[in-house]
Structure 1
């Protein structure tokens, strides 16, 4: 098989503030025509830096050594004109987060037209025809009506399809996909993977796929290169790597999946929170007088109950109402219908009374870096709630912070450092410590593991289990990762477009789903080879 891309002895280092960081350390691999090669490893392993090095997309602070040959032509040290001819034309990229990769100020037509006009020289009606053809190929329904749309008007899956269309606009020989499905719902993820496989076969295209999800790798890759600390520690055909891994790190990655079931709920555990037919409708107002002309029906008649030491997993695709429901239970947005906390309806409570209750109802968000202030130290972040709600007489806030950091698996000596000095998993532990320091009874966990590596996910799941068992916490666990939900939840509620389509004990919902929609979610999550074992 002839090599489309051949990498030999690739080294990449970055020099900043007088210090040199070695990101890639002598990497060798190649991608054959029509072949899919997966680069896998945890955050910081050098996967993305390796990919960006192929066509010199790294910044001026990067020093690149070794050889990167595309169709036999050397890319390292090539002049800008040669690189411009290859970028976006012969080698195209799909990035992880389409919302940040697409220009929010330009329509889809304008963004797609830019690449086509630059590389293919088409103009006017020919460009528009090509754009419609591309959008149709990537599964955008009624593409003509979408040409004037802006990125924020599309769903996550639609935005990713647009990114794929842009990458395919010039019929590249090699497509580099950098974590293209990480932020997507399981059903959308399955669709995107199917789409990439179909387009690859149709166009005889080569694919370099970068991911930390080994379930995806097993489904789509011909060969795998496992990266750790800037080096490829093991490579080979996918079946060999999965069937007989040789390196300890590869075995660690393959075994990193949330497993087991949560500890049983203590007998006679009291009910912490309950809702009855909770409804959340947002008014649509129009005209000078702002009359209500309709409603966005975010949540319709949601009833749930969670006891001390129990986890309710709330699952569904983006826009199904999961987070909206949780925010309403926390009384952070308006809703209709009773919300019982320890048997008392808190729906009509005024601000002052609710403030006293806040310490007992805490939330942990998806992106720990976005939810932690970069200007505050860890000690200030974790102690923030104590400043609002106070501490018991005689207690030292700093000692409480140290105790809480120890409980979440962090060394108290780090409390004077800042969030940017920590890994994603460590930042999530800090966010959990901030919530836990107030000793809440109810915690809302909104996608707390979706942005983390698989090995770190396992650690956070184990931590949440331990904290729940020790303190009798009630969890509302919101996620689109059904493997994590299965490992943590006693009960599951499935939501679709604001409706609760199914609810019950986790084992029943996972093993014998009653609704077609639930079956679709389960198939998308567990039908990927390797996912069922998780």
Structure 2
């Protein structure tokens, strides 16, 4: 008997009297000790299928078919039975950790809640279990992190906390919905190794949802390819990857960011530069909040980026990549020199920085979190036009329509809200919001990490086109080194606040000088080097 058996699953959503079918006759099994991967583009029905296994769909969903776990029918099961299974026998790792973690509770409190509820541990035993879990999922210095709130952790650290919560009660079936999306390549390899060890040691089964086909090839036993709510192809991983039959599967396997960026003009002016930039955060203790040390987020960074040039910034989570970018944007305090178009801005006060913000824009990692759900796309994209004079006297809606066309969004949809768009479309909207002010410098903080590979390729091509057209300088922060290679002219490698290597992209990728850089490259391109990361 299969541990999870899904037969002819159909899911439709009723809204305004209309019934929209999202999953159409899906059937698959997960055997004990087996990992099955669900792959496909955003909106193909992967996550909805996974949520239906323990009836986590909204009331508007109409579900038919059969979903049995260990022989027990889940569709129509009473709430008491579902509560027993959820989080105990079946655990979830969700894609968006910031929306899954309570922002008002510490990490310790959130982990403790699950452990006490399902395991009955109390007192110091709970704390010991929490520290063990955090160390297992790769959070360094877990003792000092246990009292942190979610907003005080990096995206990768929050995802690791989510994984720790899912593993806390030793589930038989782990449903992992894009569990490594926010993780850099080295931690991704370590987490996958951890999940593989748990599967082997505890006989755990896994339903793995991802857009990263490289992970699927290495990690899964079988794969189900979904398109528009249907499974179009299924089989053993080796067979699907080596001999794909369906055109959609072939298209997914062929989707990869390739090529190189356009060369930078020899006379291109310098847009941004830093000299000996340093960001140290004080560690304060006691009632008087005495400074007892510092978190050295960025130690000594010297960079230069010209018009039409991309500097890729890479390194593990917590290495200082985003902190460096925020300091350059003057969004956090720093020491050292920062120049924008030849003008020193490190000493400029907040009021003086305001007119310079037009030239410095940022696109964040999570487009859903960075776009206001209460504003229409037109309002979101036009927001900067109310504060800055771009020299364009046309009505704001006309300017919004033009920039939406440039990023591949139908201007007719500008009065819709962010939740009505796919992840890739939301990221295009976030790019449009930055580009409408015609900036000189754009910080791209993991702009493709939450997107499936086919959409990643589209976003990379869009960024190349915009850079070519407007001579934009990019600071491109990413853990996906394949995308970094496709976009970057120069690469900066960071480790625990230090710049360990910097140079032309071809040199850093093809002949890395530092052992840490070599380990990063190995982890990125063959995912076999998690243990090779120098301490």
Give the TM-score, by structure 1 length. 0.89
Structure 1 SS opposite 2:311? strand
The answer for the alignment partner of 1:53 in structure 2 is 52
The answer for the alignment partner of 1:195 in structure 2 is 194
**Cα distance change, pair 309–66 in 1 and its aligned pair in 2 (3 A):** same
The answer for the alignment partner of 1:485 in structure 2 is 484
Structure 2 SS opposite 1:462? helix
The answer for the alignment partner of 1:496 in structure 2 is 495
Q: CA deviation at 1:462?
A: 0.2
The answer for the alignment partner of 1:433 in structure 2 is 432
Cα distance in 2 between the residues matched to 1:461 and 1:433: 14
The answer for the alignment partner of 1:30 in structure 2 is 29
Cα distance in 1 between the residues matched to 2:431 and 2:3: 46
The answer for the alignment partner of 1:449 in structure 2 is 448
Cα distance in 1 between the residues matched to 2:61 and 2:231: 20
1:360 aligns with 2:359: yes
Structure 2 SS opposite 1:347? coil
Moved more, 343-352 or 66-75: 343-352
1:377 aligns with 2:376: yes
**Cα distance change, pair 317–138 in 1 and its aligned pair in 2 (3 A):** closer
Cα offsets for 1:267-314 (capped at 9, x unmatched): 222222221112223345567876655433221221011111110011
The answer for the alignment partner of 2:303 in structure 1 is 304
Q: Is the 8 A contact 2:297 2:497 kept in 1?
A: yes
1:90 aligns with 2:89: yes
Cα distance in 2 between the residues matched to 1:353 and 1:17: 50
**Cα distance change, pair 285–131 in 1 and its aligned pair in 2 (3 A):** closer
| Alignment gaps of 5+ in structure 1 | 530-534
**Cα distance change, pair 64–449 in 1 and its aligned pair in 2 (3 A):** same
Q: Is the 8 A contact 1:102 1:151 kept in 2?
A: no
| Alignment gaps of 5+ in structure 2 | 529-535
Moved more, 150-159 or 44-53: 150-159
Cα offsets for 1:174-196 (capped at 9, x unmatched): 22222111112221111110011
Q: Is the 8 A contact 1:391 1:397 kept in 2?
A: no
Cα offsets for 1:98-155 (capped at 9, x unmatched): 4544455666666556555655666778777876776676667898x58964564766
Cα distance in 2 between the residues matched to 1:102 and 1:351: 33
Q: Is the 8 A contact 1:99 1:151 kept in 2?
A: no
Moved more, 126-135 or 437-446: 126-135
Cα offsets for 1:407-439 (capped at 9, x unmatched): 222233233333333222222222222222222
The answer for the alignment partner of 1:243 in structure 2 is 242
Cα distance in 2 between the residues matched to 1:332 and 1:126: 41
Cα offsets for 1:382-416 (capped at 9, x unmatched): 23333222253754443332222222222332333
Structure 2 SS opposite 1:241? helix
Structure 1 SS opposite 2:323? helix
Q: CA deviation at 1:440?
A: 1.8
Where do residues 272-291 of structure 1 align in structure 2 (5 Å cutoff)? 272-284=271-283
Structure showing greater Rg: 1
Q: CA deviation at 1:356?
A: 3.1
Cα distance in 1 between the residues matched to 2:132 and 2:347: 54
**Cα distance change, pair 231–266 in 1 and its aligned pair in 2 (3 A):** same
Cα distance in 2 between the residues matched to 1:11 and 1:393: 51
Cα distance in 2 between the residues matched to 1:480 and 1:404: 28
The answer for the alignment partner of 2:532 in structure 1 is none
Q: Is the 8 A contact 2:163 2:179 kept in 1?
A: no
**Cα distance change, pair 120–299 in 1 and its aligned pair in 2 (3 A):** closer
Cα distance in 1 between the residues matched to 2:205 and 2:327: 47
Moved more, 51-60 or 80-89: 80-89
Cα offsets for 1:468-488 (capped at 9, x unmatched): 111111111111221111110
Structure 2 SS opposite 1:54? helix
The answer for the alignment partner of 2:533 in structure 1 is none
Between the two proteins, the alignment pairs up a number of residues equal to 527
Q: CA deviation at 1:27?
A: 0.4
The answer for the alignment partner of 1:462 in structure 2 is 461
Cα offsets for 1:440-471 (capped at 9, x unmatched): 22211121111222111111110110111111
Give the TM-score, by structure 2 length. 0.89
**Cα distance change, pair 397–83 in 1 and its aligned pair in 2 (3 A):** closer
Q: Is the 8 A contact 1:108 1:146 kept in 2?
A: no
**Cα distance change, pair 415–158 in 1 and its aligned pair in 2 (3 A):** closer
Cα distance in 1 between the residues matched to 2:112 and 2:293: 37
The answer for the alignment partner of 1:532 in structure 2 is none
The answer for the alignment partner of 2:4 in structure 1 is 5
Q: Once superposed, what is the RMSD of the aligned Cα atoms? A: 3.0
Cα offsets for 1:39-97 (capped at 9, x unmatched): 11122211111112122222322222111122333222233343344333333323234
Structure 1 SS opposite 2:197? helix
Moved more, 323-332 or 100-109: 100-109
Q: Is the 8 A contact 2:138 2:187 kept in 1?
A: no
